[in-house]
């Protein structure tokens, strides 16, 4: 039970994870009569909804990242710790970071999710996902070096494979990636190559269900598919991926099995709980769902541990409508803010009703000036949806200079149809990188890069 | 001898390197009656003078980089090739890229310079230099994780070592780095940490000669040193580094030998020719200087090979005033433009006088609003020099969106005393990275990163 306010050592809140869940919990506690310690293994908060723009060269990582210390520097009750929580001791009320034990009165775990390859972890090296800055930079390298490799390739079949891009997963991330790569091929890079016509690139978007953007209203899924098709993307629903190798993807549509020769495969299909999920479950006896997420109580706490809360993608909250809330930023944000408010209320001897998510809608950008926005009572599409999408994303970017830089960069990209951030970084020389098997990183004795 | 213009296959110019020398040669040839192939191992041109701002978290790599294809896309006679030149065959007039031979009528080699550790190559892992984007990101990681490590360190001596930064080399790069780190410590990060006072950081700038900024007028060197000292930098001239290990730097001042406990050492001291220098010398019999640079003729060609030119940091041009022109951007730019003009003139049956560098002056930024500018007849310092420095750098950035983004970012950084790009990237978890020996990268089975 959370202690009522007294004159003794102030209530210590430890937050693990500086994403939408953890950071908004910390911000909500900024002026509370508690001490807050935020622990993250990175020194910045990442605006994940725009990661696909880093992966397709439109923005830089720093444009969508905010140093945690900077965001929280004015919160004098808040300390930021760069570290990774290895273990939790619920009896002693401590988290273990390296060889240091940090005591808590309230613990908020917000470590998010990571990619899931549905058990086929060996697919990871052939199909990077998009959860971290390094993921985005790896994707970016692969996308742009595919065009470079095609430019040098004399064998027409191999060139076609270099110009074939497969995106697995028809949710917002996959849809936004597919649209962005189509624009790269058809507009941005069109004048830049001499041996290839980049608009001959084939972009496939694969979705296992019967329509893309499953959380959206059906007419918007249809609109999105039509927009993507106009952009040149081939959308294939009811399609499952059964194997991924270095240059071929195997699909299953109904009873039919197909092989696609593709050198670039991008993963936007499955997520599972971060490693903390397992640690939490073992230490607290909490139940997990099939994706490893912690099943939480109506107040987002763990059953039997009213002072340990889980928010964001790591939590499975099904009390509102019978199925778990989706792993999206607004859910994490509201959950983090709720738990922070709850802690303050309880310290003052009060309580709050159970958590209730306010769904303001979903949005996905399709391409240059088209999007779909599902606000429930209103559905937008096309240009007005696209403007709405821009405004919402700018609004939620945390630092003002990020807002300004992203606005400028987007205005520029829009008017010039160009993309300002399409570096291939991470290797000093790319010759072997693009020509041979991508896993052969031995050129110049450079180690494999995961950046 | 360069062929005069005729109706046969157009004159083929091959340019190796897309830096200031190579890129400006290509731009100058954009409308010439020649075919141009620009070969670079990276897909972008890097504005090196601002690399130190990436290293200190003020700018992102993309803000100072321009995709080569994009810059040259309108030059319909120009092809960009991503690759590394392994060899040259002057008899057959070909360069070898991988297993491909590319023929030339005129060859312009502009591959630049790389770090030199004066023979002590083992120092490289302890003291990164600043020539590439990856270098800058490595430096950035080390600088920011040093503060993070200090925040967690309980042993006062070890904490002091984490808060000690040694910059080796008092030229413009070293001076600009030192000033930027001092600002980080004294302003930007001041409110961000709870256990340490970042302004207690000790920043040492070591220079072997008797003053910093040796190419500048003496009174400006003095001004720069005074500015740096006001910022809290300890400037030590007539100081040579004799050894660098993971946490200690050994110096020699006169007869005195000193050891400094420092976890972060940054190299801005020596450069030598890129690897192409050796290849060229072996294949053409060209003479090199002690740093491996090719000694060129008054028209920047190689003796005995009037159709092979060397421009930029790889060239040693001493015909103007007896000593080699410095390895700075304006020299490379003018040399590249000269050779391009020369090729066009000769094709038209004309000639040009020998190359003559027009020295417009030197500039170095000291800190937040201070710089020194030596224009020969005019010397500027303080705030007006700083404004001049900003304008010149914006002017020479190649892409308009870069100019705009950098201006905005600088305006923001200036008014908020903040830095928008201080991510520590490249490792998923930094716990072991910051606490133990930096070479122990075995945490999470991640490979050593050189990004």
Arithmetic mean of pLDDT, B280-285 = 96
Note the pLDDT of residue A431. 33
Cα dihedral B364→B366→B370→B373 (10° resolution)? -20
Determine the distance in angstroms separating the CA of A107 from the nearest CA of chain B, rounded to an integer: 20
* Residue A417, pLDDT score: 66
User: What is the tens place of the pLDDT at every residue in A23-59?
Assistant: 999 999 999 999 999 999 998 899 888 899 999 988 8
Per CB-CB distance under 8 Å, the chain A contacts of B95 are: none
pLDDT band at A450, cuts 50/70/90? Answer: very low
Given this model, what pLDDT does residue B94 score? 97
Q: Which of B138, B148, B153, B176 is catalytic?
A: B176
Contact A84 B429 (CB under 8 A): yes
Q: Is the pLDDT of residue A436 over 80?
A: no
Indicate whether this model's pTM tops 0.90: no
A-contacting residues in B 193-222 (Cβ below 8 Å): 193-194
Chain segment B67-122, per-residue pLDDT in tens: 899 899 899 999 999 999 999 999 999 999 988 999 999 999 999 998 899 889 89
Cβ count near A281 (within 10 Å): 18
Q: Do A405 and B402 touch (CB under 8 A)?
A: no
B12/chain A closest Cα distance in angstroms: 16
Shortest distance between the Cα of A148 and any Cα of chain B, in A, equals: 7
Checking ipTM against 0.90, whether it exceeds it is: no
Give the DSSP H or E segment for B339.
helix B329-347
Residue in B390, B399, B61 with CA at minimum distance from that of residue A408: B399
pLDDT value of residue A376: 79
* CB–CB contact B67 A422 (8 Å): yes
Q: What is the pLDDT of residue B5?
A: 53
Q: Name the DSSP letter for residue B190.
A: T
B29 to chain A, minimum CA–CA distance in Å? 17
∠ CA A170-A173-A174, rounded to 5°: 40
Contact list, A408 vs chain B (CB under 8 Å): 401, 404-405, 408
- Which H or E element spans position B373? strand B370-374
Range with lowest mean pLDDT among A3-17, A259-273, B297-311, B428-442: B428-442
List of chain A residues whose C-beta atoms are within 8 Å of the C-beta of residue B69: 189, 192-193
* A 46-85 residues inside an 8 A Cβ radius of B: 60-63, 65, 67, 69-70, 73-74, 79-84
Is B157 considered catalytic here?
A: no
CA distance B426 to A433: 19
Q: Out of A148, A153, A176, A335, pick the active-site residue.
A: A176
* Per-residue pLDDT tens digits for A414-434: 776 666 667 776 643 333 333
Q: Which of residues 307-326 of B touch A (CB under 8 A)?
A: none
Tell me the C-alpha distance between B191 and B266, whole Å: 25
Task: Give me the helices (H) in A184-318, please.
Answer: 218-230, 276-284
Cα–Cα distance measured from residue A160 to residue B220, given in angstroms and rounded to the nearest whole number? 59
pLDDT score of B408 = 75
Q: Using one digit for the tens of pLDDT, what is the confidence trace for B292-324?
A: 999 999 999 999 999 999 999 999 999 998 989
| Residues of chain A positioned with their CB less than 8 A from the CB of B450 | 428, 446-447, 449
pLDDT in tens, B206-261: 999 999 998 888 988 999 999 999 999 999 999 999 999 989 999 999 999 999 99
Q: Are A72 and A37 in contact (CB under 8 A)?
A: no
Mean pLDDT computed over every residue of chain B:
87
Alpha carbon separation from A67 to A82, B152, B418, B429 (Å, rounded): 11, 17, 10, 16
Task: Assess whether pLDDT exceeds 70 at residue B2.
Answer: no
* pLDDT score of A199: 94
Which residues in chain A touch residue B428, judged by CB atoms under 8 angstroms apart?
41, 132, 134, 450
Which chain A residues are within 8 Å of B404, Cβ to Cβ? 408, 412
Cβ–Cβ gap B448/A447 under 8 Å: yes
Q: Which are the contacts of B94, defined by CB distance < 8 A and separation ≥ 6?
A: B88, B101, B102, B103, B104
Asked if A132 and B62 come within 8 Å (Cβ–Cβ), the reply is no
């Amino acid at each position: 039970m959370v202690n009522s306010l007294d004159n003794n050592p102030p209530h210590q809140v430890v937050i693990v994870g500086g994403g939408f869940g953890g950071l908004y919990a910390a911000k909500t506690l900024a002026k509370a009569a508690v001490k807050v310690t935020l622990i993250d293994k990175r020194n910045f908060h990442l605006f994940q909804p725009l990661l696909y723009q880093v992966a397709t060269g439109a923005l830089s990582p720093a444009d969508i990242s905010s140093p945690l210390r900077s965001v929280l520097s004015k919160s004098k009750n808040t300390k930021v710790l760069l570290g990774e929580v290895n273990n939790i001791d619920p009896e002693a009320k401590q988290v273990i970071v390296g060889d240091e034990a940090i005591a808590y009165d309230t613990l908020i775990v917000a470590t998010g999710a990571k990619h899931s390859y549905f058990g086929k972890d060996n697919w990871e090296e052939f199909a990077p996902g998009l959860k971290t800055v390094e993921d985005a930079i790896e994707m970016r390298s692969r996308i742009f070096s595919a065009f470079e490799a095609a430019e040098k390739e004399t064998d027409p079949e191999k060139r076609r494979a270099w110009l074939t891009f497969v995106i697995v997963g028809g949710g917002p991330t996959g849809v936004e990636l597919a649209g962005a790569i189509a624009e790269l091929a058809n507009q941005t890079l069109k004048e830049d190559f001499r041996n290839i016509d980049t608009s001959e690139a084939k972009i496939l978007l694969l979705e296992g269900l019967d329509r893309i953007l499953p959380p959206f209203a059906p007419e918007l899924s249809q609109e999105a598919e039509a927009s993507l098709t106009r952009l040149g993307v081939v959308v294939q629903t009811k399609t499952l991926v059964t194997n991924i190798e270095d240059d071929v993807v195997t699909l299953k549509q109904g009873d039919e099995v197909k092989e696609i020769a593709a050198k670039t495969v991008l993963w936007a299909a499955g997520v599972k709980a971060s490693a903390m999920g397992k640690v939490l479950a073992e230490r607290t006896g909490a139940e997990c769902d099939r994706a490893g997420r912690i099943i939480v109580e109506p107040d987002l706490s763990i059953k039997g541990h009213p002072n340990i809360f889980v928010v964001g993608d790591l939590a499975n909250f099904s009390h509102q409508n019978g199925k778990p809330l989706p792993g999206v930023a607004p859910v994490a944000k509201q959950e983090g803010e709720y738990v922070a408010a709850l802690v303050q209320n309880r310290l003052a001897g009060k309580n709050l009703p159970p958590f209730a998510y306010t769904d303001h809608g979903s949005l996905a950008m399709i391409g240059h000036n088209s999007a779909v926005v599902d606000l429930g009572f209103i559905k937008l599409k096309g240009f007005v949806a696209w403007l709405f999408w821009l405004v919402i994303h700018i609004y939620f970017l945390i630092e003002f200079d990020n807002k300004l830089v992203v606005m400028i960069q987007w205005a520029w990209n829009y008017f010039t149809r160009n993309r300002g951030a399409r570096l291939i970084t991470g290797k000093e020389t790319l010759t072997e990188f693009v020509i041979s098997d991508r896993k052969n990183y031995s050129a110049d004795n450079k180690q494999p890069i995961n950046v």
